Amino acid sequence: MRKRALGAATLAILLAGQACAQDQSIIVQSTTSTANSGLYDYLLPIFQEKTGIEVNVVAVGTGQAIRNAENCDGDVLLVHAKPSEEKFVEAGYGTSRTDLMYNDFIIVGPEADPAGVGGSDDVQGALAKIAEQGALFASRGDDSGTHKKEMALWSDAGVDPTAASGDWYRETGSGMGATLNAAIGMGAYVMTDRATWISFGNKQDYQIAVQGDEDMFNQYGVIPVSPDHCPSVNTEAAQTFADWLVSAEGQTAIAGYTVADQQLFFPNAPSN
């Protein structure tokens, strides 16, 4: 009897330990651009050392990340499509949305610059010229934040590129790094976030062709998933992570991440 009681007590301790360990981990549904840039490799060890919370990142396009979070497959959402993020919160899937950081989008292309858009700071004009020339353009085509922004820019330029799908307009259905590789392989222009481009290792003869238009601003936001919609969410740890990211310490850490002496993200969380 004593042996059996001791075994039960030991089992209870083990189960409690497992629950505690589970409480110390969260899943972040994230855009690929933050993962491709190496930002998480830099930030997460700092956060884990401070809090003991392990952060597991699922890096997919923003649209897929939002759907995953809606399906309760994550504790925190960190993406870059503000209108979609606000709808996520309004629908009750997230507790609140906070601006986190920003950078910008750019269009890169081959040195030969077949559409003659190099050096432009007018993104709508450049896209219209690419379409007029029928110059190859590679799109992620994956409902990511980058793809959503690209389609909005085409619309502003008065162009429906999908009418030329498979011709000069090529949709990869892939993440940013894979789309950059595909674009370089076919000699196509492509829109990317600047952080991924700086970190990208296969530039070959590609250069930034279009940059500096205020319409290419790229805002990121952070949203804890709502426990009202997803009872399984690790609310406390998720909120701890979100709070740290927007705190002075987290914002300083984001600003401190550089590649090739270039800052990739610029913190802009509201002052606490």
Based on DSSP, count helices (H) and strands (E) in the chain, helices before strands.
Answer: 11, 12
- Whether 1 shows a pLDDT value over 60: the answer reads no
pLDDT digits (tens, 9 = 90+) for 135-173: 999 999 998 999 999 999 999 999 999 999 999 999 999
Query: Residue 261: which region, alpha, beta or left (left: phi > 0; alpha: psi -120 to 50)?
Result: left
pLDDT digits (tens, 9 = 90+) for 198-257: 999 999 999 999 999 999 999 999 999 999 999 999 999 999 999 999 999 999 999 999
Residue pair 149/201 in contact (Cβ under 8 Å)? The answer is no
Residue range(s) occupied by CATH 3.40.190.10 in the chain: 26-102+218-267, 104-216
What is the crossing angle of helices 235-246 and 248-255, to 10°?
60
What class, spelled out in words, does domain 26-102+218-267 have in CATH? alpha beta
On average, the pLDDT of the chain sits at: 91
Q: Which CATH architecture has domain 104-216?
A: 3-Layer(aba) Sandwich (3.40)
3-state secondary structure of 192: strand
pLDDT(272) > 60: no
pLDDT tens readout for residues 91-128: 999 999 999 999 999 999 999 999 999 999 999 999 99
Whether 129 contacts 159, CB under 8 Å:
no
Q: Residue 194 has which token pair?
A: 């600047």
β-pairing, 189-193 vs 137-139, is: parallel
